[in-house]
Amino acid sequence: MDFRYSEEQLALQDTLRRFIARDYDFERRRALARSPLGFSAEAWDQYAELGLLALPLPEQFGGLGGNGVDIMAIMETIGQGLLLEPYLTTVVLCGGLIRDAASEAVRQSILPQIAAGKLKIALAAYEAAGRYDLAHVGCAAAGYGDAWTLSGRKAVVLDAPSADCFLVSARVAGQVAEADGISLFLVPRDAPGLTLFAYPTQSGARAADLQLHDVVVGPDAVIGLPGRALAIVERAVDSAIAALCAEAVGIVSALNEASLNYLKTRKQFGVPIGAFQALQHRMAEMIIAAEQARSMAIIAAVQVDAADAAKRRRAISGAKAYVGQAARFVGQQAVQLHGAMGVIDDIVISHYFKRLTMINMSLGDADFHLGRFSEQSAHAQASTVSL
Amino acid sequence: MDLNFTPEEESFRAEVRAFLAAELPADLRDKVNLGRRLRKDDWLRWQKILYRRGWGAGMWPQRYGGAGWSVVQQHIFDEEGAAAGAPPQIPFSLRMVAPVLMTFGNAAQQNYYLPRIISGEDWWCQGYSEPGSGSDLASLRTSAVRQGDRYLVNGQKTWNTLGQYADWIFCLVRTSSEARPQQGISFLLIDMKSPGVSVKPIITIDGEREINDIFFENVEVPVQNLVGEENKGWTYAKFLLGHERTNNAGIGNCKRNLQRLKRIATAQPSNGRPLSEDPRFRERIAQVELELMALEITNLRVLSAEAGAAHAPGPEASILKIKGSEIIQQLAELQMQALGHDALISVPEALELDWSPPRLLADHYPEYAPPLSGQYFNQRKTTIYAGSTEIQKNIIAKLILGL
């Protein structure tokens, strides 16, 4: 049993940290978040050069064949640097989905481009009335000959404004919210009939609502089995959740470090405020929450590659619920310990807190995943709880 | 990162499991699984069975008769034992006084006491807390005055666990009042049969006898019963606390209680359906299960770091103590809550294995029910003993955070 990152993982983290220190400090990040693109195109090229974009992709498509723990190592560092680039959506979510579910031809045409930083993809899976239910698909796909016509709307598609194409879930049969009858289509950004309503997110990234009006795609646009795409979308979302848990853990560590430093340096009543027991105990609770959250992120990173879907889902939902609760606690308390310094835009604390909050609100919040975990867990008879 | 046990560890697990299946007496298993009273003989019987197998003290070095297990092996043994319904081993002897004797005791002490501990011949209890010295342990006042080749001991120890069974007590006593309170404390071994030692029970919140006051009135203790040096006892006590907290995550016990909670929730009716299908109750179980999942990994992270560094866990043991105690309390509370108004019933004789309920009670008071309310009350102790949650947070603040 070994809970350490490998030498390679540590080296990758170190490289990314040095990049952040050199090219991506807090002021630079704030400027990028306000820029039209919302992130750094140069940074994206850098990630390609460093091999980060190739990390989870198979070697025969220009990838590095990395696993969930490799992604954990990177996402933790992405969290610490509050990086804005669409790594999660393009590489982990869509890259992972195409890797696991697409035909050889699609993999061949897409994955090397992702690895090289030449192609960005976003997942359009959620709809407004469905909340976090991936099976809630009202967007319709009608077959004409061997082509498909898509019509409907998709809500809050992360990193959509910069995406070159979209993975869109659409219904080919059955009723809204039925698990069966969902297909997944690869839709180019410039497809006639596709409209974007773009906006920034609360944590400085970009997203958009998509409207599809008789968007026509060919038969080669179908990813996975027609009508049976829910499972592949869920699997991809699960890997993105594991990655988000790691990102949250990175932010939680950074916030704890900042809060501890503040307790030691900020003086009131003639002493560092860390001399007060109420604050010492709060800080101790934040450290405990961070260690426990890290343990859950480890479970998610290891189980995300599990072949057994039920086992994987239980670990992922458990981790998302727990990390979400811990992140909320640490985020809120970091703001509290920083006093008014915690609620201003000029200091990184508020930005960390907002990113943690948005992580919690993405891909199913803590309540959603606690519910999903509890449904699977009520009668579980595992001799070992976690693994 | 590799979360798998090694093949050697897995085969050790299989060996432990087979041993438990063959050697754990059925009545002991039933008492543990059903929460019935354990008596002195029960604890010692199990210790003697382990001793015969060569597992009387898993983590003791082999030169003291131990099995020389790694921390991971001990963890596997604890986990399997808890799952099988084995009684825990007596911690005061094996995990508390013994490591102190091995580290600070002299050869004569080691040669005399350690074999008697591992074989189950001697039962030890702990003499730390006093009426005026709880969390502020260093303020203790029980005095030991040197008179020739003896100490004369006077004072009172309290919250002494299972001292009614003990043959020996290890005590922190004051041998000097001159310097800082920590510097005048000595670590003394006292025979419970010595004239002047008296044991008075303290009935706990669940109506049981688990703890005692122990009074020392002009008790004569030979000087060779001093461990290490006079006035260095505080150092030994802190060393011991580190060992005491080694298993304070109590993962195995928590897992057994979680499984029992799920079984109870499945068996208890609620509006014509199993209580386990009530979303509100189900999510409360899920919440504590998540805490336990996380703690299991956190515990293994601490253990594997410890195995690499070959030292007793440092202040991170405080994290395990805080979380482990909270989790066992929540599990106890949910088990009681699962009973609904049957939680009100108090039948002390139902804690004996041979009790069977009167006819009217039998149809709604299953055999898992009798101990649950008492256990809820009893488990409130876990965030108080062995360094309260607040003391643990002080330790974290000071030793991990440098505040």
CB nearest B319 (choices: A6, A280, A291): A291
B65's tokens: 């008769």
Measured CA to CA in angstroms, residue A280 lies from A200, A273, B43, B255, B298 at distances of: 37, 9, 40, 31, 22
Measured CA to CA, the distance from residue B284 to residue A371 in angstroms comes to 10
Helix axes B71-84, B7-23, angle to 10 degrees: 40
Q: Say which CATH number the domain at B170 has.
A: 2.40.110.10
Domain span including residue B296: 245-400
Give yes or no: residues B270 and B320 share one domain: yes
Q: Are residues B221 and B80 in the same domain?
A: no
pLDDT at position A387, please? 46
Clarify whether residues A281 and A317 are in a common domain.
yes
B178 and B207, same domain (yes or no): yes
pLDDT at B243 over 80: no
Residues A126 and A245 in one domain: no
Question: Looking at the predicted structure, is the pLDDT value of residue B339 above 60?
Answer: yes
Do B359 and B259 lie in a common domain?
yes
Domain end call among B45, B67, B89: B89
The DSSP code for B134 is S
In a domain, residue B115? The reply is: no
CATH of the domain at A323: 1.20.140.10
Cβ atoms of A342 and A336 closer than 8 Å: yes
pLDDT at B249: 82
Same domain? For A201 and A325 the reply is: no
Mean pLDDT of chain B: 93
**pLDDT per residue as tens digits for the range A222-261:** 999 999 999 999 999 999 999 999 999 999 999 999 999 9
Given a contact cutoff of 8 angstroms between Cβ atoms, the answer to whether A203 and A156 are in contact is no
Of A228, A261, A285, the one marking the end of a domain is: A228
User: Residue range B36-56: average pLDDT?
Assistant: 96
pLDDT(A87) > 80: yes
CATH number of domain containing A166: 2.40.110.10
Domain-located, residue A385: no
pLDDT for residue A385: 43
The model's confidence at residue A380, banded by pLDDT at 50, 70 and 90, is low
Distance from CA of B221 to the nearest CA of A (A): 41
Give how many domains chain B has, as a whole number. Answer: 3
* A240 in Cβ contact with A92 (< 8 Å): yes
According to the per-residue pLDDT averaged within each range, which of A147-161, B58-72, B349-363 is highest?
A147-161
Among residues A50, A57, A207, the alpha carbon closest in space to that of A126 is found at A207
Q: Is residue A346 part of a domain?
A: yes
Cβ neighbours of B297 in A, within 8 Å: 295-296, 298-299, 386
Residue B313, pLDDT > 70, answer no
Q: Which of B196, B231, B266 represents a domain boundary (last residue)?
A: B231
Question: Is residue A247 located within the same domain as residue A295?
Answer: yes
The CA distance from A13 to A108, in Å, is 28
pLDDT > 90 in chain A, percent: 94
Residue of chain B nearest A324, judged by CA positions:
B290
| Residue B263 domain-assigned (yes or no) | yes
Mean pLDDT of B11-26: 98
Cβ–Cβ gap A291/B403 under 8 Å: no
Out of A1, A275, A277, the one facing B300 most closely (by C-beta) is A1
**Is A38 part of a structural domain of the chain?**
yes
Nearest CA in chain B to A282: B393
Is A384 part of a structural domain of the chain?
Answer: no
How far apart CA B44 and CA B50 sit, in angstroms, is 10
- Pick from A301, A298, A280, A361: nearest CA to A327: A361
Residue B49 within any structural domain of the chain: yes
Domain boundary (A192, A212, A228) is at: A228
Using pLDDT thresholds of 50, 70 and 90, give the confidence band for residue A383.
very low
Cβ-nearest to B294 among A287, A296, A379: A296
Distance CA A132, CA B157 (A): 58
Phi first, then psi: what are they for B122, rounded to 5°?
-110, 140
- Same domain, yes or no, for A218 and A131? yes
Say whether B292 and A264 touch across the interface (CB within 8 A): no
A370 and B292 within 8 Å at the Cβ level: the answer is: no
Indicate if the pLDDT at residue A378 is higher than 90.
Answer: no
Based on the domain organization, do B178 and B254 belong to the same domain?
A: no
Query: How far is the C-alpha of B337 from the C-alpha of B331, rounded, in Å?
Result: 10
Interchain proximity B297–A386, CB inside 8 Å? yes
DSSP string of A44-97? HHHHHHHTTTTTTS-GGGT-----HHHHHHHHHHHHHHT--SSHIIIIIIIIHH
A92 and A170: one domain?
no
pTM for the full predicted model: 0.94
Question: Is there a domain that residue B1 lies in?
Answer: no
Query: What residues of A are in contact with residue B282 (Cβ under 8 Å)?
Result: 374-375, 377-378
Q: Which domain holds residue A352?
A: 231-377
Nearest CA in chain A to B320: A288
Average confidence (pLDDT) over A278-300: 98
User: How many structural domains does chain A have?
Assistant: 3
Verify that B140 and B208 share a domain, yes or no.
Answer: yes
Do the domain assignments include residue A84?
Answer: yes
**Contact flag B322-A378 (C-beta cutoff 8 Å):** no
pLDDT given at position A75: 98
d(CA B299, CA A283): 20
- Cα gap B174→B172, rounded to integer Å: 7
**Distance (Å) from the C-alpha of residue B353 to the closest C-alpha of chain A?**
26
Residue B363 lies in a domain: yes
Mean pLDDT score, B389-399: 94
Q: Which residue does chain B place closest to A257, by CA atoms?
A: B401
Same structural domain for residues A15 and A98?
yes
Record the tokens describing residue B177, joined without a space: 């009042």
pLDDT at A154 over 90: yes
Amino acid B205 reads: I
Mean pLDDT of chain A: 96
CB contacts, 8 Å: B291 with chain A: 292, 322
**Cβ contact, residue pair A298, B6, below 8 Å:** no
B181-210: pLDDT as tens digits: 899 999 999 999 999 999 999 999 999 999
Same domain for B45 and B191, yes or no, is: no
Helix (H) or strand (E) holding B305: helix B279-309
Mutant choice from A1, A282, A313 vs B, greatest count of B C-beta within 10 A: A1
Q: Is residue A383 part of a domain?
A: no
* B318 occurs within a structural domain: yes
Clarify whether residues A257 and A354 are in a common domain: yes
So what's the pLDDT on residue B312? 59
Percent of the residues in chain B that have a pLDDT greater than 70, as a whole number: 97
Same domain, A241 and A295: yes
B11: which strand partners? none
Whether A190 has a pLDDT exceeding 80, the answer reads yes
Residue A1 resides in a domain: no
Where residue B244 falls among pLDDT bands split at 50, 70, 90? low
**Backbone phi, then psi, for B146, in 5-degree steps?**
-70, 125
Residues B386 and B272 in one domain: yes
- Is A5–B301 a contact, with Cβ atoms under 8 angstroms apart? no
Last residue of a domain, one of A74, A105, A120: A120
Residues 6 or more apart whose Cβ sits within 8 Å of residue A164: A119, A120, A121, A188, A189
In a domain, A173, yes or no: yes
Can you give the C-alpha Rg of chain A in angstroms? 21
B67 and B164 both lie in a single domain: no
Q: Report in angstroms the alpha-carbon separations of A232 from A101, A225, A226, B51.
A: 6, 9, 11, 54
Residue B81: is it exposed, middle or buried by C-beta count within 10 angstroms (0-12/13-18/19+)?
Answer: buried
| Residue B20 C-alpha, separation from nearest chain A C-alpha, in angstroms | 15
Let me know whether B79 and B179 are in one domain.
no
